[in-house]
Structure 1
Amino acid sequence: MVKAKELPILFSAPMVSAILEGRKTVTRRAVKPVRGYEEFDNCRPDKAAASHAVWWHGQFETVGAMQYCPYGKPGDRLWVRETWVADAQVDAVAPRDLSQGEPIQYPADGDVRQAGCAMIKPGKIRPSIHMPRWVSRILLEITDVRVERLQDITPGQITAEGVSTRGEAMWGSRWWVDAPDQAIEDARNGFSDLWTSTGGDWNANPCVWVVEFKRVTP
């Protein structure tokens, strides 16, 4: 039996909050070139769900998308990296040198983990990229992986991305069934803003990994 992998993944504070609230169950990440392969037309409608078409050594080849997903496959787990804070008295200590008994605060919602010592005073905000595994409080299990074009996102998937929409506030969890076109367009604009806020280019309509997940106990 193949053992499930555990990989880190970065989320912004608003997306961490959405995960904790149960509103975010999927993430989209740009497809990057695979070493030894050159991406080619890997988002054709007939290929997007389960395959990845590439140009390799002078010939086209279609391979399983999950084989190249850097975030894992269904059953694998993702431990979330987010901004974090240790006690001010250890501000000069590198993350790798911190004791695992240090109390940790999470700016996304202000939660504090008391693993031993009590926090005296919150210190500097530490970036998510420098979060050690033991500091992570959120563990996700991948339930599905596929490849599609960014702008192919559906209204339901916009909600699953954790984007709060006017349509959902007015018509409920399946808001797109009754919502007018303008509400759907507003939701797409909201997701477009989220994508560009992370440095992505919405207008380029790139191929993206669509990674669906559920939260599990760390």
Structure 2
Amino acid sequence: MKRDGTKVQQMPNNPELLTQTRKERPILFNSEMVNAILDGRKAVTRRIAKGIIPKSPAGKPGDILWVRETWMDLLGTGIDGDAVHRGRYAYGAECLPGSFSDEARKDFGLKWKPSIHMPREACRLRLKVTDVRLERLQDISAEEARAEGCPTASQKDPVGWYRSLWQSIHGHASWDADPSVWVIHFEVVR
């Protein structure tokens, strides 16, 4: 109650209001990792910490990451005519190199666009950040490596699998450099 006798209005505990400060950020994933997310094998990603005082590329828990992936706009191609079944966009993760659909794409002269150029409206996958922390790259545990999307065939040595994945993205010497990385846990938002 204020001094003049009027009541102070309390902020309602409404989940919608509590999420208004949530930020959305883009995050890049290759097709292999998009498929791991869609298969439920990937629930964490690591990104190199940059700067003297590093800032998380994922924000904080509760923030939303919209996935940028290899994509193609089908508008005007004639392929997008059946929007109920196909939609306006095609995604590289669903069209593996050498597959029938990839060969058909080539027959039509259609080209994939890199994930970095994906606009927000083409995004089909959103991730809610559940935890963010800093650690050294080589501190990854077997459990965390599995959560990075480790395929079943590599379950006996998930850290070795993750090391190979890291080196394929960042270069052979990148593992030995043992940089500080952001460990970003997430869950898929439908």
Residue 29 of structure 2, aligned match among 11, 15, 25: 11
- Asked whether 1:108 is paired with 2:126, we answer no
- Aligned twin of 1:173: none
Q: What are structure 1's unaligned runs of at least 5 residues?
A: 40-51, 53-67, 91-101, 112-118, 169-182
- After TM superposition, give the deviation of residue 125 of structure 1 in Å: 0.5
Q: TM-score, normalised by structure 1?
A: 0.64
Q: Which has the larger radius of gyration?
A: 2
- Asked whether 1:191 is paired with 2:179, we answer no
For 1:103 and 1:189, how far apart are their aligned partners in 2? 39
- After TM superposition, give the deviation of residue 10 of structure 1 in Å: 0.1
Q: What are structure 2's unaligned runs of at least 5 residues?
A: 1-17, 78-86, 97-104
2:160 match: secondary structure:
helix
Amino acid at match of 2:167: T
- Asked whether 1:77 is paired with 2:50, we answer no
Q: Deviations over 1:124-144 (max 9, x none)?
A: 100000000000000000000
For 2:154 and 2:110, how far apart are their aligned partners in 1? 40
Q: Decide whether aligned partners of structure 1 residues 88 and 4 sit closer, same or farther in structure 2, where only a CA change above 3 A counts.
A: closer
Q: TM-score, normalised by structure 2?
A: 0.72
RMSD of Structure 2 on Structure 1 (CA)? 2.5
For 1:107 and 1:9, how far apart are their aligned partners in 2? 16
Contact kept in structure 2, 1:140 and 1:215, CA below 8 Å: yes
- After TM superposition, give the deviation of residue 187 of structure 1 in Å: 2.2
Contact kept in structure 2, 1:166 and 1:187, CA below 8 Å: no
Residue 45 of structure 2, aligned match among 27, 40, 48: 27
1:126 match: secondary structure:
coil
For 2:115 and 2:145, how far apart are their aligned partners in 1? 24
More helix by share: 2
Counterparts of residues 154-169 of structure 1 (less than 5 Å): 154-166=141-153, 168=155
Contact kept in structure 2, 1:88 and 1:124, CA below 8 Å: no
- After TM superposition, give the deviation of residue 87 of structure 1 in Å: 2.8
For 1:190 and 1:167, how far apart are their aligned partners in 2? 6
Amino acid at match of 2:186: F
Amino acid at match of 2:130: T
Q: In percent, how many aligned pairs have the same letter?
A: 47
Counterparts of residues 129-144 of structure 1 (less than 5 Å): 129-144=116-131
Amino acid at match of 2:39: E
- After TM superposition, give the deviation of residue 88 of structure 1 in Å: 8.2
